[in-house]
A and B are shown apart, each in its own frame.
Chain A
Amino acid sequence: DQQVKQNSPSLSVQEGRISILNCDYTNSMFDYFLWYKKYPAEGPTFLISISSIKDKNEDGRFTVFLNKSAKHLSLHIVPSQPGDSAVYFCAASGNTPLVFGKGTRLSVIA
């Protein structure tokens, strides 16, 4: 039973445009959400997080939005750059170890 779902395995975006990565969760006890970025043969790198008491958190080109009623969060990257090409994992916790989605592979095309 997948508690964190990333329904798009891959996404292609033109350089300079906005990338929107989506994530859905089923466990209403989750209260902390994170995005990690992963390059091949490397470990996941923390990108941005959001607590359930907020609905938006911004850090430079990265913004995470949380819609608790829909149990949905999204990561916006604008403007997208070729170096953003990687696999992005959504993760959630709430009195449990971090639960990860399967990831979305983002390709930013120059």
Chain B
Amino acid sequence: NAGVMQNPRHLVRRRGQEARLRCSPMKGHSHVYWYRQLPEEGLKFMVYLQKENIIDESGMPKERFSAEFPKEGPSILRIQQVVRGDSAAYFCASSGQQHISGNTIYFGEGSWLTVV
């Protein structure tokens, strides 16, 4: 998983501010996934993207959350007007092919968001 790069590792935001989390997939991977882990919970799927396309955003909250994976540059998960409940670990993962065909996805080290 060392190949998937996430930054920042830790981010502190006040309520109402914006949080931006970045993810660069492993070299050669074009599929990116974002997961969130709340305290004492498993990982919950948020969104699946390919370059310039959102493929599945069924796990994204309807408001304040957005994600993109531009043609150039990292994937970005953006949380507007953060609230205390957004405090969590956000993990990005990547794969070379669509994982539903049985390919493994590899995770980054995570970004820990704390909202104060």
User: Which residues does A use to contact B, with CB under 8 Å?
Assistant: 4, 6, 31-32, 34, 36, 41-46, 49, 51, 89, 91, 93-103
Contacts and interface: CB of A to CB of B under 8 A. Distances in A.
Interface string B75-116: 000000000000000010000000110101111111010000
Contact of A43 (B4, B42, B48): B4
A57 to B, nearest CB: 12
B1 A44 contact: yes
Interface residues of B, number: 27
B51 to A, nearest CB: 18
A38 B26 CA distance: 19
A97 B59 contact: yes
Contacts, number: 64
Given A46-B106, A89-B43, 8 more contacts: A41-B110, A43-B109, A46-B104, A51-B102, A94-B100, A96-B100, A100-B43, A101-B42
Given A42-B110, A43-B91, A44-B107, A98 B99 contact: yes
In the complex, the 3 A-B pairs of residues with the closest C-beta atoms, listed nearest first: A43-B107, A102-B42, A100-B42
B56 interface: yes
Contact of B56 (A46, A49, A97, A100): A97
B69 interface: no
A31 B104 CA distance: 13
